[in-house]
Amino acid sequence: MNIYEVLEYTVKKARNYGIDEVEVYIVDSLEIQVRGLRKYLEDVITTQSLGLGVRGCIGKKVATQGTTITSTEDVDYVLRTLVKSIKSGSDDPEWKGIPKRLSKSSVDKVFDKEIDYRDVSEYTLKVLEIIKNVESRNTQHLSTDLVISKSRVIIGNNYGEVVERLETHYYVDIEVKCCRNSEETTYRDFTASRIFKELDTNTLIANVVNNCFKFIKPKKIETGIYDIVIKGKIFAKFLEDVLAPAFCADTVQQNRSPLINKIDTQVLNEKLTIIDDGCADGLYASSEFDDEGISTKRKVVIDKGILKTYLYDHYTASREGKESTGNACRRGYSSRPRPWITNLIVKSGRSSFEDLVRDVRKGIVIYDVIGSWLSNPVSGQLTATISHGLYVEKGEVKFPVKGLVINADFYKVFKENVVELSREIESHLNIYAPSIYITNIQVSSEE
Amino acid sequence: MLNFDKIVKYALSEDADHVEIRFQERRYEYLLIDNGVLRECSESRSRGLNVRVVVNNRIGYASTNKLDWESIERTVKYAIKFAKALINGGREKPLKEKSIIKDKVRTVIKEDPFDIDLNEKIKLLLDFNKYSMNYSSEVSSVITRMGCEVDKRIYVSSDGSEIISEIYLIGIGHTVVAKFSGIYERVYHQESKVSGYEFIREIDWYSIIKEVTDTAIKAVHAKTPPPGSYPVVLDNDVVGLLLHEAFGHAVEADYVEIGASVLKDRISEKIASELVTVIDDGLVEGGYYIPYDDEGVRKTKTIIVEKGVLKSYLHNRYTSSIMNSELTGNARAQDYESIPLVRQTNIYMLPGDYSFEELVEDIEFGIYAKGLGSMGGEVNPSVGTFTFSIGPSYIIRRGKVEEIVRGVVISGNILETLRYVDAVGKDFKVRTSVFGGCGKNGQMVRVGDGGPHVRVRKITIGGR
């Protein structure tokens, strides 16, 4: 069965089962992972997968089911369980149906036409090159993961609407170890792109190696109040972990967001303008349409600190009599769509990163953290443990630090304590942010 | 039914020296009630196979969910091609000899959760959800969910092993968000078990839901703890988290082998207090059930630390071969698409002889760290730093457990924290979860963890 036959068969069968409306989501994907450990290629792994998600409703009862597809029997199975789930469920008074009209926006550089998946030698050579390059810099290569993925997504419904998109993603993650005077440490970083030739591994290697040497022989500092400069990549992580869930319309509508009733209110510092843009050319989460088949859009979410909009999928938008903002996202083919960010872009500032550090009287520059995903987007509590930081006094880096815990009220800190943003932007996959200088942060230490 | 013998023979005929087929069929049912409305009622099913071949001591993997012969043939060819691609630039990966095993294991269940009427499950969850919604005007949002899973795996290898396992896991999770004076706080808790639906009938869910709701309401009024380093009494759940994050990852031999663990070259060294004995066990009551790993190796009960001395790392066949160690059965793959990595199974600390009262009575000022509401943790094993969030906890003052505090984060160093253990309780509990697990290299596997209550002399508390 080809992918369009699966779609047609599912829609037709759903009608026979008495389902009022049906939305079919099919993803045909291929992923190749090349792994290098120490001085060698370790694994080459390929995964092919064909997955089907079906959302259907009878009246105001709605359910979603999913399966991998090996034959039409899988489609029958999924529809049988879908009908059972729909009939067992209770009415959702807010349900106003699936999107009836599907649409696409114009987006460039999201599919690499030159890629040849049958030949993995280009990727194995790339990993071997990375290993050689790292080892030539007086550094030990620990691991490299190169992931190449290609997918074809088709969304269709019982109204005869169909949209299709092709996507490619490349991701590389490198970890190195460096030693000096019998002291050693490690550092890892990653980069990603939509076109293989744009995967900038040389800059990544230079950053990983140079940064690694900065963190040898960390010292301890006392618990206290410090200024901090957060590298753009880490600031992006904080935005993903604390802010992004709070401005998605489902958490707002379900009373789990500190941003409830805050539209047109100053929620962050006026230096912060944040845009969600799903149709920017070549960015990591760009696509022609979202996971409900609605065209992606660009919207200013935070304008000079003022909250301008929540992010909506069709369901949450319908509840408020609005149009979807093109932010429907499925975590997998079996999951129901929910609002989530596409590409989140923070507008840059005017200072260089070096200027930000120079202005710090007593503080820490944060290069990497662990555990920021343990932050609480419901309360707005930001938590993270610094794994790679530099202690700074009077604008000068004194020594590396690690194991320091930040525990802060995100909205208070990013509203009241922002000094400046850097002009350089870094990306954490689909979040693009400058480095940011914040004052007066409580830092906990063992001392 | 797939003809595994035919696939194995085909791979051998195409130049493979050794072949392993892993077939998986998994069903996962998920129900979610959000503020009184059934928001999700879904079942996902996945089926597919993974082929692992060894050619000249190089390993190639490929997987597919397209199960016609043409696709399987292509998958075998991919695996062989990738193994051969490693001959130039890839290192040799000798695999430790293993026993040939033919076995069939299945969770003993009384009621298949997938046979229970959906209406019954939905009604139960709606009742739980409404209970918390109606409990107090300070409750602003409630999510109740149920997950049930059956994971069937078949492992067949060219050396004659054939292992079939079928594991059921079921549980309920409950999240309460409380609001007071513009402040929101959430508390989440779940209980899961390797079991059939009888687990749902056996538990007094209302007492758990009441505790979660009470804790959320108390927490929204609470302060955060003062930042610094204090004596801490960890409850069973937090001890499990501590062992898993602060220690378990660092003894995974793949990290050790490439030099990405601070515990490299420390076997036989004293790395913890002599009160500490740590076990990784695939069969412990309360944990996830792992009688065999995904390389067809029996999961043994591995003593990692004995009376403070590091005794063993956790191994797959490759690390055990090159580190000349015993097999421990810790090669685990998230699913048929994924390759087996060295993973923990159920990690726990053996109990000691302190009562809870004895653990707290000597503390002048400290924290009683509770797992209810904990969101998990993370470690960087090469740097040695770990962190985890715990639930609303309590201040200990002059030997007494006093007021509640919220937003508690713990951090420490792998090589220091277990040295600071100075008392171990005599209670014992291990838990698992149907809603999550442990993540590594993009793969999530079910795990369990736990132990007794434990007192740590000094640990960093992130407060504000």
Tell me the nearest-neighbour CA distance from B217 into chain A, angstroms: 13
pLDDT at A117: 67
pLDDT at B245: 85
Characterize the bridge pairing of strands B102-106 and B162-180: parallel
Please list, residue by residue across B113-144, b when 16 or more beta carbons sit within 10 angstroms of its beta carbon and e when fewer do.
bbebebeebbebbbebbebbbebeebbbbbbb
Same domain, yes or no: B393 and B249: yes
**Containing structural domain, residue B78:** 4-220
| SS3 at position A70 | coil
With pLDDT > 90 as the criterion, what percentage of chain B qualifies? 82
Same domain, yes or no: B157 and B178: yes
Name residue B216's amino acid: A
**pLDDT-wise least confident of A325-339, B295-309, B374-388:** B374-388
The DSSP H or E segment spanning A128 is helix A121-135
CA distance B242 to B348: 10
Q: Do B66 and A378 touch (CB under 8 A)?
A: no
Tell me the nearest-neighbour CA distance from A289 into chain B, angstroms: 23
- List chain B residues with CB under 8 Å of A380: 184
Same domain, yes or no: B255 and B313: yes
Give Cα separations from B382 to A175, A388, B347 (angstroms): 10, 12, 20
Domains of chain A: 3-212 (3.30.2290.10), 218-447 (no CATH)
Q: Do A67 and B227 touch (CB under 8 A)?
A: no
Tell me the nearest-neighbour CA distance from A243 into chain B, angstroms: 14
- List chain B residues with CB under 8 Å of A85: 41-43, 118
The 8-class DSSP code of residue A242 comes to: I
pLDDT at A121: 85
Nearest C-alpha neighbor of B384 from the set B258, B251, B268, B289: B251
pLDDT at B86: 86
For residues B367 and B230, is the Cβ–Cβ distance under 8 A?
A: yes
Q: Do A383 and B68 touch (CB under 8 A)?
A: no
For residues B369 and B389, is the Cβ–Cβ distance under 8 A?
A: no
Same domain, yes or no: B265 and B284: yes
The 8-class DSSP code of residue B251 comes to: G
Q: Do A46 and B227 touch (CB under 8 A)?
A: no
Tell me the nearest-neighbour CA distance from B263 into chain A, angstroms: 13
Interface of B with A in 144-163 (CB under 8 A): none
The DSSP H or E segment spanning A387 is strand A381-393
Region of A132 on the Ramachandran plot (φ > 0 left; ψ -120 to 50 alpha; else beta)? alpha
B363-379: per-residue pLDDT in tens? 999 999 999 988 888 98
Tell me the nearest-neighbour CA distance from A109 into chain B, angstroms: 26
Count of the separate structural domains present in chain B = 2
Same domain, yes or no: B211 and B241: no
Three-class SS string for A5-45?
Answer: HHHHHHHHHHHHCCCCEEEEEEEEEEEEEEEEECCEEEEEE
Separate counts of helices (H) and strands (E) for chain B:
10, 26
Residue A116 reports pLDDT greater than 80:
no
Tell me the nearest-neighbour CA distance from A110 into chain B, angstroms: 23
Sequence-ordered list of residues with C-beta below 8 angstroms from that of A221, at least 6 positions apart, any chain:
A364, A391, A401, A404, A443, A445, A447
Name residue A69's amino acid: I
Beta bridge partner(s), residue B443: B440
Q: State ipTM.
A: 0.85
| Main-chain phi, psi angles of B200, to 5 degrees | -65, -35
Least CB-CB distance to A378: which of B85, B184, B413? B184
Residues A54/A57/A58/A63 CA torsion (nearest 10 deg): 80
Average pLDDT over residues B25-33: 94
Instruction: Determine which of B322, B385, B413, B444 to mutate to test the interface with A (most A C-beta atoms within 10 Å).
Output: B385
Same domain, yes or no: B215 and B274: no
pLDDT at B462: 84
Angle of helix B69-85 versus helix B4-13 axis, rounded to 10: 40
The CATH number for B93's domain is 3.30.2290.10
pLDDT-based confidence at residue B388 (cuts at 50, 70, 90): confident
Same domain, yes or no: B354 and B438: yes
pLDDT-based confidence at residue B414 (cuts at 50, 70, 90): confident
Same domain, yes or no: B213 and B239: no
Average pLDDT over residues B77-106: 91
The pTM of this model reads 0.91
Check CB contact of B89 with chain A, cutoff 8 Å. yes
Same domain, yes or no: B38 and B185: yes
Give Cα separations from A161 to A14, A154, A238, A442, B417 (angstroms): 15, 10, 38, 54, 59
Chain centroid to CA A297: how far? 17
Helix, strand, coil in percent for chain A, rounding step 5: 25, 40, 35
- What tokens does A74 get? 């899988």
- List chain A residues with CB under 8 Å of B183: 379
- What tokens does A207 get? 């950053």
Angle of helix B205-220 versus helix B118-133 axis, rounded to 10: 30
For residues B95 and B8, is the Cβ–Cβ distance under 8 A?
A: no
Q: Do B258 and A63 touch (CB under 8 A)?
A: no
Least CB-CB distance to A92: which of B37, B93, B185? B37
Number of residues that this document lists for chain A: 447
Side-chain-facing half-sphere of A56: CA atoms under 13 Å: 29
Residue A292 reports pLDDT greater than 90:
yes
- What tokens does A237 get? 């992580």
Same domain, yes or no: B196 and B334: no
pLDDT-based confidence at residue A118 (cuts at 50, 70, 90): low
| SS3 at position A275 | strand
Interface of B with A in 364-423 (CB under 8 A): 375-380, 382-383, 385-389, 406-407, 409, 411-413
pLDDT-based confidence at residue B40 (cuts at 50, 70, 90): confident
Chain centroid to CA A349: how far? 22
- What tokens does B195 get? 């079991």
Q: Do A405 and B78 touch (CB under 8 A)?
A: no
What average pLDDT is seen over chain A? 95
Same domain, yes or no: B192 and B317: no
End-to-end Cα distance, chain A = 64
Domain end residue (candidates: B220, B242, B271): B220
Beta bridge partner(s), residue A153: A27, A165
Domain end residue (candidates: B175, B194, B220): B220
Interface of B with A in 233-292 (CB under 8 A): 258-260
Q: Which residue has the higher pLDDT, B228 or B277?
A: B277
pLDDT at A276: 98
For residues A287 and A326, is the Cβ–Cβ distance under 8 A?
A: no
For residues B434 and B409, is the Cβ–Cβ distance under 8 A?
A: no
The residue in chain A having the minimum alpha-carbon distance to the alpha carbon of residue B62 is A46
The DSSP H or E segment spanning B380 is strand B376-380
Tell me the nearest-neighbour CA distance from A439 into chain B, angstroms: 14
Q: Which residue has the higher pLDDT, B299 or B41?
A: B299
Same domain, yes or no: B232 and B310: yes
Residue B210 reports pLDDT greater than 70:
yes
Domain end residue (candidates: B220, B240, B263): B220
| Main-chain phi, psi angles of A207, to 5 degrees | -65, -45
Query: Residue B194: exposed, middle, or buried by beta-carbon count in 10 A (0-12, 13-18, 19+)?
Result: buried
The 8-class DSSP code of residue A263 comes to: T
B174-199: per-residue pLDDT in tens? 999 999 998 899 999 999 999 999 99
A47-104: per-residue pLDDT in tens? 888 899 999 999 999 999 988 887 888 899 999 999 988 998 888 999 999 999 999 9
